[in-house]
A = this chain, B = another copy of it.
Amino acid sequence: MSNFQIIENSPEWWSIYERVNTISPIPKEVWAQSKIEYCLRELSYGDFLVKQGKIPTKYAFVFSGVLREYYLTPDGDEYIKSFNFPGEFTGSYFDLLSKQPSTCNIRAITDCKLAVADFEDLSSLFETHIAWERLGRKVAENLFLKKARREYELLALDAEARYNILKETYPNIEDLVPQYHIASYLGITPVSLSRIRSKSGKLKKESND
């Protein structure tokens, strides 16, 4: 696992800035003054970014690879909260905000390249400039919208509808994520998922015929 600082004005540094700007614009001079230290970190399949039970302090930007965010129950059951793809931020915002031992694990499903930074450094910026406050608001609003949609799916939709939404959101998810992880995210067994997939494949074939 390599771990060295991302140099100011490097392509990686600017790619994080560009992504941040799509969430909420930060003036270039404000960004340059931010002094957040991003470190490049490589994870191999199975490596942890965040461990359940430990107080998390870091957030990360995904350059490449896929991670999964999941709870492990006392009985050893795994519940997948979300997947993280390239161009996304990760780090369990819930746990970073609550400052309690992490309620979840974040772990590499494939080899990953990430930029990792201290959440404390980011949150201390909120008070320094309205653009940082706005970014904080937009990030929280987006996460809230995502969670509210997920609640709706879990409460009001059946597994097949949830599967169809997942496929619409991430059309190539099945090439990147093993079926048993997708089943866990949908809250169903791998057997049920296989049944839904074969039904959906059949319907697709019929509509193409």
Binding site for B on A (CB under 8 A): 71, 73, 77, 79, 81, 93-94, 97-98, 103, 126-127, 130, 133-134, 136-137, 140-141, 143-145, 147-148, 150-152, 154-156, 187
User: A134: which of B93, B98, B133, B151 is its contact (CB, 8 Å)?
Assistant: B133
Q: Which of A127, A148, A151, A155 has the most CB of B within 10 A?
A: A148
User: Which residues on B sit within 8 Å (CB–CB) of A81?
Assistant: 151, 155
For the residues of A in contact with B, the DSSP-based class is helix
A126 to B103, CA, bound (A): 32
**Interface contact A71-B155, CB-CB below 8 Å:** yes
User: Which residues on B sit within 8 Å (CB–CB) of A151?
Assistant: 81, 147, 150-151, 154
**Interface contact A73-B156, CB-CB below 8 Å:** yes
**Known contacts A130-B133, A136-B137, A141-B140: A154-B152 contact under CB 8 Å:** no
Number of copies: 2
User: A137: which of B73, B98, B137 is its contact (CB, 8 Å)?
Assistant: B137
**Known contacts A130-B133, A133-B137: A187-B155 contact under CB 8 Å:** yes
A127 to B24, CA, bound (A): 12
**Interface contact B94-A145, CB-CB below 8 Å:** yes
Nearest chain B residue, comparing its CB with the CB of A103: B152
Nearest chain B residue, comparing its CB with the CB of A130: B130
**Interface contact B71-A156, CB-CB below 8 Å:** yes
A169 to B75, CA, bound (A): 25
A147 to B141, CA, bound (A): 12
Q: Which of A79, A126, A145, A155 has the most CB of B within 10 A?
A: A155
